[in-house]
Amino acid sequence: MSVFSSITRDKAVDPIPFAMGAASASTVSTAIDIGANSFADGNIEFELSIPALATGVIPDASIVSLILETSANSGFSVILSTQTETVTGAGGVGIAATSARFRVPSDSAQFVRFKTTRGSGGTSAAAFNATGSVRF
């Protein structure tokens, strides 16, 4: 059942934490069922946040991509759309805590999920959580 029924409450879409990955790896959140053809108003945003990561985790010139993906099925066997924001380690300090907000089109696929992808270099970020949220 879609969490976006006519009686949607913020509680139905609690923040979704998921562990970040090792260098050159991607991690994804659980899928969110937004319902088929349910975004005609476009007043909902999806926010993906990551914590500050020190230069040992994200060295200079290494990247972290914050991604929102959509699919017609919860297994994401086919990705229908992708939106990405990328941050880069610099100045010997890693990256600051970062959030990216995304909107899906009114004809969006039924399922969305959050994803982070790490560039090469640095130690594992598995001890850190990215957090996906739905904003009304």
pLDDT tier at 7, thresholds 50, 70, 90: very low
Tens of pLDDT along 23-65? 999 999 999 988 876 655 567 889 999 999 999 999 999 999 9
Show the domains of the chain with their CATH numbers: 15-135 (2.60.120.1110)
Radius of gyration of the chain, Cα coordinates, nearest whole angstrom: 15
The conformation of residue 131, written as its DSSP 8-state character, comes to: E
Could you write out the three-class secondary structure of 41-98? CCCCEEEEEECCECCCCCCCCCEEEEEEEEECCCCCCCCCEEEEEEEECCCCCCECCE
Structure tokens belonging to residue 28: 């994804």
pTM, rounded to two decimals = 0.88
Q: Contact at 8 Å (CB) between 57 and 51?
A: no
pLDDT tier at 67, thresholds 50, 70, 90: very high
